[in-house]
Structure 1
């Protein structure tokens, strides 16, 4: 690797502020969207709250399409694989 070549590292999780910025809403709107089931609940690591990007993407993919009718269906909230294998 030459100097200046920086490998792109994918983000696996986002803070509340980062998530708000990523989807174009306020941090307070993130809290409301979680309560309404439009976004997944945050994960905890020590004192930090983090949202897993893949989980957020799964929820967003279930949002209604503009002009379409229907309810928002949250993805399955089953037991996490990583917890089951611990």
Structure 2
């Protein structure tokens, strides 16, 4: 039985958005999880400039999701960019 002051199930932070609409601003923990890193490693990447600095909203730091995506895309190690494309018709030439 629910207590009299219970207004229904609690909503988690950010639950006001539908799943099809991701937030544009991310907390430190969510930003780190977004690129599958620990918050400590994410902090290191922010300090050395590999990840963007946050926006300051009053006392909160919020990372721009689009900037994180661009910074992630710029990181080295994407083998798809280094593989030479082979001309499949060259062997018949």
Q: Which runs of 4+ in 1 moved over 3 A?
A: 66-69
1:17-75 CA-partner distances (Å, limit 9, x unpaired):
00111111111111100111110001110111000011111111111134578xxxxxx
Which residue matches 1:60? 72
What is the rounded CA distance, in whole Å, between the counterparts of 2:67 and 2:34 in structure 1?
14
User: SS at the partner of 2:42?
Assistant: helix
Question: Match for residue 34 of structure 1?
Answer: 46
Which TM-score applies when normalising by structure 1? 0.64
| Larger Rg computed on CA atoms | 2
- Listed as ranges, the matches of 1:46-85 within 5 Å are 46-66=58-78
In the TM superposition, 1:3-42 aligns within 5 A as 8-42=20-54
Task: State the TM-score, normalizing by the size of structure 2.
Answer: 0.59
> How many residue pairs were aligned?
64
| Structure 2 gap segments, 5+ residues each | 1-17, 83-93
